[in-house]
Structure 1
């Protein structure tokens, strides 16, 4: 594997990990604007942890969700998946820093470094999958309620936090695929084995016919 490709994959995985950390506390996972006169116009926005509201006068108020068990199942699952994504990305970054060829942390054993790089790639892919499932599941529930004509509650729209999560998932999966491919190319030794001959070959001029004839018939023990 080209070391440049490994470095690019490491950068992609790092950016995906950073964007997960940005998307998780972002307050704009879903937003809703209630139009009215100047006083009653307000914007409601929520994420996995709290619900906030602000009006046209600049008054801003947030409250955390009071009970974990009272939340919807998809919100609880999204929380768990996002936390798992950050943990997997952290282990993936550590493994990638050890496994890439330009790093001296893993010594000169390129077979072992290739396997570690492949493990880091798998961790990045799992990180991207967890993030993708979390934000997509959350977005599915938003669109389902929005287009349901019998839904009487507040109808929300997709916020910027979900877009950040989608970008993070794509970057993490792309970086993980590159590092996983480096696992197969890193299983071969970089140094060739010494060549060993099976016998000793002596070079020299072949004996002439006269010499061979003169020695013919002599006692071999003389």
Structure 2
């Protein structure tokens, strides 16, 4: 059962990494709100890299943020956290392939595979935590501006990319827990010890048969006296 849990956790973490990779370039991190607007002529949606506007005719125009240093601090922090999460996820995915007990890559014993699986699980948990912090940090800033009555800029709502990122982070964390939890259940036995016989071979006692020397000529010669040949 532990092998099944380990494999399930690996694929769950891999799916979380894939969803994190889709979340990062997604355009809909935040979408302009229509709350309080009588007439809406365009819809603005942004992510960590660029901003786009769609007019009433459905034509979209996008432009990248001109300067990284001119961005808000939380946007820069979310960029760093998301990139870190993806890098940690890739490293955890590679170590997870080596640490799975159902694979024979590297020819390692079970104890070393268990350690690699535990490290891979920890990396996936860290990746999910980084993604969760980045998505939540971005969402908190959106809600603060939305409910701030003194904010005069464009108010935004949570985009669908944030929900995708939350799901991806949760999958990475759960997959890392399943992948790393089986390290304590791994068998510490040497695979060569299982091939040994379960009983002790009995020692065969050598039976030495006494050598009988039968010489018909000599024995028959002893049956008669010397006078018989005279």
**One fold, TM greater than 0.5?**
yes
Runs of 4+ in 1 over 4 A off after TM superposition: 33-37, 190-195
Match of 2:151, SS state, is coil
* 8 Å CA contact retained: 2:33, 2:157: no
What is aligned with 1:202?
A: none
What is aligned with 1:142?
A: 142
Number of aligned positions between the proteins:
197
Query: What's the C-alpha RMSD, in Å, of the aligned pairs?
Result: 2.2
Give the drift of 1:186: 2.5
Give the drift of 1:184: 1.7
Give the drift of 1:185: 2.0
Task: For 1:57 and 1:27, locate their aligned partners in 2 and report how far apart those are by CA, in whole Å.
Answer: 19
Deviation per CA, 1:79-119, whole angstroms, max 9, x where unpaired? 00000011000001101111011011132500000000000
Q: Which runs of 5+ in 2 are unaligned?
A: 198-230
Matched, 1:2 2:8: no
What is aligned with 2:158?
A: 158
Deviation per CA, 1:167-193, whole angstroms, max 9, x where unpaired? 000000000001111222226225458
Match of 1:53, SS state, is strand
Deviation per CA, 1:52-85, whole angstroms, max 9, x where unpaired? 0001112210000000000000000000000001
* 8 Å CA contact retained: 2:2, 2:185: no
Task: For 1:83 and 1:25, locate their aligned partners in 2 and report how far apart those are by CA, in whole Å.
Answer: 11
What is aligned with 1:91?
A: 91
Matched, 1:20 2:20: yes
Normalised to the residue count of structure 1, the TM-score between the two structures is 0.83
What is aligned with 1:131?
A: 131
What is aligned with 1:77?
A: 77
Task: For 2:55 and 2:17, locate their aligned partners in 1 and report how far apart those are by CA, in whole Å.
Answer: 34
What is aligned with 1:63?
A: 63
* 8 Å CA contact retained: 2:33, 2:155: no
Question: Which structure's CA Rg is the greater one?
Answer: 2
Task: For 1:3 and 1:30, locate their aligned partners in 2 and report how far apart those are by CA, in whole Å.
Answer: 41
Deviation per CA, 1:104-146, whole angstroms, max 9, x where unpaired? 1132500000000000000000000000000000000000000
